[in-house]
Amino acid sequence: MEYKIAVIPGDGIGPEVIDETIKVLNLIGEKYSHEFNYKYVLAGGIAIDEKGTPLPGETLEICRNSDSVLLGAVGGPKWDDPTAKIRPEQALLGLRSGLGLYCNLRPAVLHSALRDASPLKDSIIGDGIDICVVRELTGGIYFGERSLVKNGDEETASDTEKYSTSEIKRIAKIAFETAMKRKKKVTLVDKANILESSRLWRRVVDEVHKDYPEVELDRQYVDNAAMQLVKNPRQFDVIVTSNIFGDILSDEASMITGSIGMLPSASLGEGTNGMYEPIHGSAPDIAGKGIANPLATILSAAMMLKYSFGLAEEAAVIEKAVEKVLEEGYRTGDIMSEGNKLVGTKEMGELVVKYIKEGK
Ligand code: NAD
């Protein structure tokens, strides 16, 4: 079977972590007789330099005509002027809206070999943490009406949290479907004691829940959820929430796993096209040094195989190889601890390849 993948290496460590990920995908293709056809395209800072825009029309067109998009990272100090009209991050927003990606899936997994990296106590971590945050991506307060009214020296600003039934329904479905493939529990996080929009979320999520009787549905206010994530993270399986709450809670969930260099993400919409990228940025402080951790991007590719191509077995093979590399004590600098073996970006990629080759 042939799969068309648009590849956006982007800026900083983006190209370095993408290189290792492509090696892993090539091996999977070889091993399972899939043909992955890559089209490399420009976005972010490099696209500003070469084409004068962070998201050239040609890039979006190629992404639209692909079966999925794999992205490294965009941005860097060269383009970081906050007053600039053209910024690398605009490429991400343009891709999300251009591809109709309204759902962000962020698994936060604490690999047992990396428990030292977590800021939480052993007694809280128990046998490990495995949470998936399902965040609404194209609605809510980030996209609602805003205003700034001046009255003499006094200024009044407002932003609007706005959601419709259909926007909530489609994200709720993804959350329940995701839970069905996991531990069958969904926690809806909202502020329904205060916000009308949250009360609508509750009604709609309750309605969608009727189609998934096997899934347990829990509801938590966002302030409580923020506490529960550090107090008892093992109670969570899938968290579904609005754009703003998801933005904050997915970062908190990532933090408790201890390493930004390990965490993948997927942005999904209708159909099977999706955008897959590590949660970290372009890490300009270590770019070009060959020391970046490629595992978050490699695990993003595993998500791509699972969610866009339906290749769950191949995805599991990658995840298992990553687990094995960690168990064997290989670490990039960001996850290094005493007694382990320090490796660079290329070596880490080659180790994953090696364990996939050796795997059954
Ligand atoms: P960052 O994630 O790039 O880096 C934060 C810290 O984590 C740095 O010390 C970095 O060295 C380290 N780090 C990140 N990824 C790593 C990896 N794979 N291996 C080892 N260490 C890693 O965040 P930042 O410094 O706030 O942002 C840098 C640039 O990236 C900015 O221009 C920002 O706008 C951009 N950014 C892009 C994305 C994206 O492309 N999706 C996301 C976040 C930030």
Q: Where are the beta strands (DSSP E) in the chain?
A: 2-10, 35-40, 68-73, 101-110, 129-136, 146-151, 154-159, 185-190, 216-221, 238-241, 264-269, 274-278, 330-331, 341-342
Centre of ligand 1 from the C-alpha of residue 99, in Å: 24
Mean pLDDT of 242-256: 93
Question: What integer pLDDT is reported at residue 255 of this predicted model?
Answer: 87
Q: Whose CA is nearest to atom 30 of ligand 1?
A: 281
- CA 248 – CA 226 distance, rounded (Å): 9
Residues whose CB is less than 8 angstroms from the CB of residue 34 and which lie 6 or more positions away in sequence, other chains included: 1, 2, 3, 28, 309, 311, 314
Mean pLDDT of 298-311: 96
Contact 242, 268 (CB under 8 A): no
Contact 81, 61 (CB under 8 A): no
Whether 191 is a known active-site residue: answer yes
- CA 84 – CA 281 distance, rounded (Å): 19
The label of the residue with tokens 């590590």 reads 278
The tokens describing 311, both together, are 């290749």
Contact 90, 251 (CB under 8 A): no
DSSP 161: -
- CA 256 – CA 248 distance, rounded (Å): 13
pLDDT, mean over the chain = 95
pLDDT in tens, 277-287: 999 999 999 99
Is the pLDDT assigned to residue 360 strictly greater than 70? Answer: no
Whether 142 is a known active-site residue: answer yes
Check 191, 320, 346, 354 and give the catalytic one: 191
Contact 41, 98 (CB under 8 A): no
Pocket of ligand 1 (CB under 6 A): 13, 17, 73-76, 80, 89, 92, 260-261, 277, 280-286, 292-293, 296, 332, 334
Q: Whose CA is nearest to atom 1 of ligand 1?
A: 281
Topology at the third CATH level for domain 1-118+265-360: Isopropylmalate Dehydrogenase (3.40.718)
Q: Which residue has the higher pLDDT, 85 or 205?
A: 205
Check 102, 247, 306, 330 and give the catalytic one: 247
Residue range(s) of every CATH 3.40.50.2300 domain in the chain: 138-256
Q: Whose CA is nearest to atom 4 of ligand 1?
A: 283
- CA 147 – CA 153 distance, rounded (Å): 16
Helix (H) or strand (E) holding 15: helix 14-32
Is the pLDDT assigned to residue 260 strictly greater than 90? Answer: no
Q: Which residue has the higher pLDDT, 271 or 262?
A: 262
- CA 143 – CA 97 distance, rounded (Å): 11
pLDDT in tens, 136-156: 999 999 989 999 999 999 999
Q: Whose CA is nearest to atom 10 of ligand 1?
A: 283
Whether 247 is a known active-site residue: answer yes
Q: Whose CA is nearest to atom 16 of ligand 1?
A: 261
- CA 193 – CA 326 distance, rounded (Å): 43
Q: Which of 280, 289, 291, 346 to mutate to test the pocket of ligand 1 (most atoms within 8 A of CB)?
A: 280
pLDDT in tens, 308-346: 999 999 999 999 999 999 999 999 999 998 899 999 999
Nearest to 268 by CA among 73, 138, 88: 138
β-strands 341-342, 330-331 pairing: parallel
Is the pLDDT assigned to residue 243 strictly greater than 90? Answer: yes
Whether 153 is a known active-site residue: answer no
Q: Which of 77-81, 116-120, 280-284, 322-326 has the lowest mean pLDDT?
A: 116-120
pTM of structure: 0.91
Q: Which phi and psi angles does 76 have, rounded to 5°?
A: 165, 165
Centre of ligand 1 from the C-alpha of residue 214, in Å: 39
The tokens describing 213, both together, are 């009787």
**What angle is formed at CA 52 by the lines to CA 48 and CA 58, rounded to 5 degrees?**
90
Q: Which atom of ligand 1 is nearest to the CA of 80?
A: 32
Check 142, 183, 185, 221 and give the catalytic one: 142
At what angle are helices 312-327 and 295-307 packed, to 10 degrees?
Answer: 160
Check 130, 251, 346, 354 and give the catalytic one: 251
CA 83 from centroid of its chain's CA atoms:
27
Question: What integer pLDDT is reported at residue 187 of this predicted model?
Answer: 98
Contact 106, 46 (CB under 8 A): no
pLDDT in tens, 195-239: 999 999 999 999 999 999 999 999 999 999 999 999 999 999 999
Mean pLDDT of 231-248: 97
Alpha-carbon torsion (282, 284, 290, 296), positive or negative: negative
- CA 64 – CA 84 distance, rounded (Å): 28
Superfamily of domain 138-256: Response regulator (3.40.50.2300)
Check 211, 223, 231, 341 and give the catalytic one: 223
**Which residues contribute to the annotated binding site?**
76-89, 96, 106, 135, 223, 247, 251, 281-293
How far is residue 209 from each of residues 166, 234, 240, 288, measured CA to CA in Å?
A: 15, 22, 12, 48
Centre of ligand 1 from the C-alpha of residue 287, in Å: 10
Residue range(s) of every CATH 3.40.718.10 domain in the chain: 1-118+265-360
CA 90 from centroid of its chain's CA atoms:
17
At what angle are helices 14-32 and 312-327 packed, to 10 degrees?
Answer: 120
Q: Which atom of ligand 1 is nearest to the CA of 10?
A: 40
Whether 223 is a known active-site residue: answer yes
